[in-house]
Structure 1
Amino acid sequence: MTTRRRGVRVLVVHALLWSYAAVAFGPLLLVAIGSFRTNADILRQPVGLPESLTLDNYLRAWETASISTYFANSLLVTVGAVALCVAVSATAAYALSRWRFRGRALLAAFFLSGLMIPAKLGLLPVFYMYLSMGLIDTRPGLMLLYAASGVPFSIFVIMGFMRGLPTGLEEAARLDGANEGRLFVSIALPLMRPALAVVTVFQFAPTWNDFFYPLVLLRSDAKYTVPVGLTRFFGEFATDRATLFAGLVIALVPLALVFALATKQIIAGLTAGMSR
């Protein structure tokens, strides 16, 4: 009887999960299918399969609608911001979790206090600071802002992961004469790979999808990122739904690739604390 009840519970849980997946991914699937259909076919029958597969919609969105420019800007800003954030956070988290020095707890609290302050509340001082430094309407300025905004969360995740790792390998390497730089590169970085994957994905997605900062800090259409560029795209191609769907799919491709490639590392990083 107990086994039967467990089986029923498993079936109910699976049914609920598949129902949620259908609701969550159903619209995305319709958009992906619609990107291969003609606009006349979509207007005549909104839901349906393409009569023949064609990439004309993607070529039109990529070239005519300037999605290529927005995509390149977003890729440059997002990859640069995430790389800078992960590099700074990994080194800081390693020092705070492994080194013993006066003021270490205060410094860690200072970094983690950034989690309690919404970054958008400081936009006005950042705007005037950027204005005086000539960073308004520049992609490096946007990159630095995203990187700094993600440092507190990234340090929090990597520190928690590092504190759960044994120090035996590092102590053995010290006995062999390895300096701190060699310890960090050869021992710490490979061990913290799951945490770095978690931080990368959790910083990549909001940075790629952010609409607020590019709207405020950028002025040139040639420097717009995908979220801001899509607003102009929606206005110009409101009646051309096939091209609109193709542009949305192009904007979603990097996120899908990042999640697909980092899934195993994300699960390892999120469950590392529970497995100990």
Structure 2
Amino acid sequence: MTVFRIVRNTVLTVLALLWLVPVYLLIVNAITPLSEYQGEPLWFPVGFDLWTNLVSAWNESSLGLGMLNSLLYSTASALVAVLAAGLAGFAVVTMPVRRPSLWFWLIYLGTLLPLQIFLAPLFQTYVDTNLYDTSLGMILIYSAICVPFAFFVVRNYLTTIPPEIAEAAKLDGAGWGRLFFQIHLPLIRSALFAAFIFQFTWVWNDLLFGITLTTSPDRRPVMAAMAEIGGGFVSLGPPVVLAGALLVSLPTVILFLSCQRFFVSSLRAAA
């Protein structure tokens, strides 16, 4: 058992170090002064000019506005998605619906289809309905895309709740609405929170819909703004682009690290 633990810890340490190598390179090159950058990735710091690089990245594209837009899209879409997933999971697991397995696969199928197949019809529909380049349009599509995986997490968690709880509540005269909002909703808070973190991170990091369904800076999410900086990779210099990437990654890193213990325990319970 001791040998197994040593091997396991060694493998995990090596994997962690391999994962940290790109992060290390990102930080080292992001803090490098433009005057010291020679066109090749640096493995060791040769100076510290992170603030200047951040200011250049901030001024070259509306990163601040993009981060506010992404904060709106990520928060609103994740909240709508986890609420819809909670209601759908409650219906499939607790309510006497016909063929619950069929409903499960119909909803979960949304995670199995490549997102690119939605672009052409979605773009045309958004143009026809005046949802193109609007905040409402972005929240709607992100909410719809986030529902299937959130439903998967919440539904699995709901299956661990004893059915006797629902039966006792119904004997006391509780309707389906009261049963969900007053009894099941508090019980599945941890699963909803885990799903929220997943979907918040996915929406924040999305580029595909950001560059397809928006054009104006006041509607563009942060990754689309980063793509504009990346388009000037040669003229701006890699340290500026990497500094911008470091900045826009901080919110999701902070969210995950601050909720890590709760997030892991929620996933373990939903597995």
Aligned amino acid, residue 11 of structure 1? I
Among 191, 195, 207, which residue is 2:203 paired with? 207
Aligned-pair distance for 1:56? 3.6
The 5 Å alignment of 1:53-202 reads 55-102=51-98, 104-175=100-171, 178-202=174-198
Among 32, 38, 48, which residue is 2:33 paired with? 38
* Structure 1 residue ranges without an equivalent (≥5): 1-5
Aligned-pair distance for 1:237? 5.1
* Structure 2 residue ranges without an equivalent (≥5): none
Aligned amino acid, residue 228 of structure 1? A
Alpha-carbon spacing, 1:229–1:186, altered in 2? closer, same or farther (3 Å)? same
Percent of pairs with identical residues: 27
Secondary structure at the counterpart of residue 149 of structure 1: helix
Counterparts of 1:210 and 1:273 in 2: how far apart (Å)?
Answer: 25
Is it true that 1:48 corresponds to 2:44 in the alignment?
yes
Structure 2 counterpart of 1:29: 24
Alpha-carbon spacing, 1:186–1:241, altered in 2? closer, same or farther (3 Å)? same
Counterparts of 1:24 and 1:136 in 2: how far apart (Å)?
Answer: 38
Counterparts of 2:251 and 2:30 in 1: how far apart (Å)?
Answer: 17
Tell me if structure 1 keeps the 8 A contact 2:119–2:212: no
Aligned-pair distance for 1:105? 5.0
Structure 1 counterpart of 2:231: 235
Structure 1 counterpart of 2:244: 247
Secondary structure at the counterpart of residue 132 of structure 2: coil
Count how many residue pairs are aligned between Structure 1 and Structure 2: 269
Alpha-carbon spacing, 1:52–1:154, altered in 2? closer, same or farther (3 Å)? closer
Deviates more, 1:96-105 or 1:81-90: 96-105
Alpha-carbon spacing, 1:174–1:232, altered in 2? closer, same or farther (3 Å)? same
RMSD of aligned Cα (Å)? 2.8
Aligned-pair distance for 1:74? 1.7
Structure 1 counterpart of 2:269: 272
Counterparts of 2:108 and 2:32 in 1: how far apart (Å)?
Answer: 49
Is it true that 1:224 corresponds to 2:220 in the alignment?
yes
Counterparts of 2:199 and 2:16 in 1: how far apart (Å)?
Answer: 23
Tell me if structure 1 keeps the 8 A contact 2:85–2:151: yes
Tell me if structure 2 keeps the 8 A contact 1:34–1:50: no
Aligned-pair distance for 1:99? 1.0
Among 5, 14, 18, which residue is 1:10 paired with? 5
Aligned amino acid, residue 197 of structure 1? F
Counterparts of 2:141 and 2:33 in 1: how far apart (Å)?
Answer: 40
Alpha-carbon spacing, 1:116–1:178, altered in 2? closer, same or farther (3 Å)? same
Aligned-pair distance for 1:35? 3.4
Counterparts of 2:108 and 2:239 in 1: how far apart (Å)?
Answer: 45
Deviates more, 1:70-79 or 1:247-256: 70-79
Counterparts of 1:119 and 1:48 in 2: how far apart (Å)?
Answer: 39
Question: What per-residue deviation string (whole Å, max 9, x for no partner) do you get for residues 195-254 of structure 1?
Answer: 223322332233222222222222224432222222221233534333322211111112
TM-score (norm 1): 0.83
Tell me if structure 1 keeps the 8 A contact 2:153–2:191: yes
Alpha-carbon spacing, 1:51–1:102, altered in 2? closer, same or farther (3 Å)? closer
TM-score (norm 2): 0.84
Aligned amino acid, residue 261 of structure 1? S
